[in-house]
Structure formats: C-alpha cells, structure tokens
Amino acid sequence: MRALLQRISRASVTVDGAVIGQSGPGLMILVCAMQGDGDLEADQLAKKIAKLRIFKDDAGKMNRSILDIEGSALVISQFTLAADTSRGNRPGFSGAAAAAEGERLYEEFVRKLSAQGVPVETGAFGADMAVELVNDGPVTIWMES
C-alpha cells in the first residue's frame, strides 16, 4: 500500500456540499492499495503510521507520534498515488488494486489504524471529494508498505 501523510492543524472532506469527515490536529492520510497488496500490508502500514514520530516535542524536535499528541486522522482513498508517469504525458494507473479490492483494503487500513488507538474519520471511496487542509510545518511524508 502507498500512503501520503500530511501533518495537519486541521482538514476536512466534502462530498456534494456536505462535510463528511474532518480532523485536526493530526494527520491527513491519502491511501492507495496496489496490486498484490493484502491485509498484511494494511496492518503494517497502520502500525507504522500510528508510531511514526513526526510531531514536535517540548524542545521542538519531531519526537512524538500521533498517539503521543492524542491526535486524529482523516483518511482519504487516493488511487492516483499509483500513477506511473514513466511514459508519455498521461499517467497510467494499472498498478492500483482493482476497485473492489482497493475499497476492501482501504476499509481494512482504516480499521487497523483505529485499532491502534487513532481516532479516524474518512472520505467516501470512489466519490468526487473536495479536501481542505492546513499543512502543519509543512510536513509531508511518502510511505509504502
């Protein structure tokens, strides 16, 4: 699985004019299941993110996790993280998991992250979403399981 993490002061996701998820302070996490991914990758990614020390401690150093700061997460499905831009000018997305499996693994990741003790809100899989965020730092981190 691939994820793009952004440390946030706040974030929200809107579908059809209604806010369906919000978070902050904490993380906005864009997630994409890749072909060949399974429950193990969702579990590993959730555990790593929950313990990742990217929040400031009292000395201003990135030494605290989302759990340490009692933060929350907004998790958004994002198949475009599978973009292959190696040929031509139009990205290809054939490396992404099929839609049904991608949705299942997205939901599994959300369950696993929540089970780690992180309060999680989500977007809507496959929907046209408007995402707003205030990136704190900015801190943006790319991860793969």
- The whole-model pTM stands at 0.95
Host domain of residue 15: 2-136
125 catalytic per annotation: no
Q: How far apart are CA 139 and CA 7, in angstroms?
A: 5
Tell me if residue 4 falls in helix, strand or coil: strand
- pLDDT tens, the chain, 145 aa long: 999 999 999 999 999 999 999 999 999 999 999 999 999 999 999 999 999 999 999 999 999 999 999 999 999 999 999 999 999 999 999 999 999 999 999 999 999 999 999 999 999 999 999 999 999 999 999 999 8
State the total domains in the chain: 1
44 catalytic per annotation: no
Residue 144 lies in a domain: no
Q: Which of 78, 109, 116, 122 is catalytic?
A: 78
Residue 114 lies in a domain: yes
Residue 30 lies in a domain: yes
Residue 75 lies in a domain: yes
Residue 145 lies in a domain: no
Q: Which of 14, 22, 55, 79 is catalytic?
A: 79
93 catalytic per annotation: no
Helix or strand (DSSP H, E) at 74: strand 72-77
What is the CB neighbour count within 10 angstroms for residue 70? 11
CATH number where 8 lies? 3.50.80.10
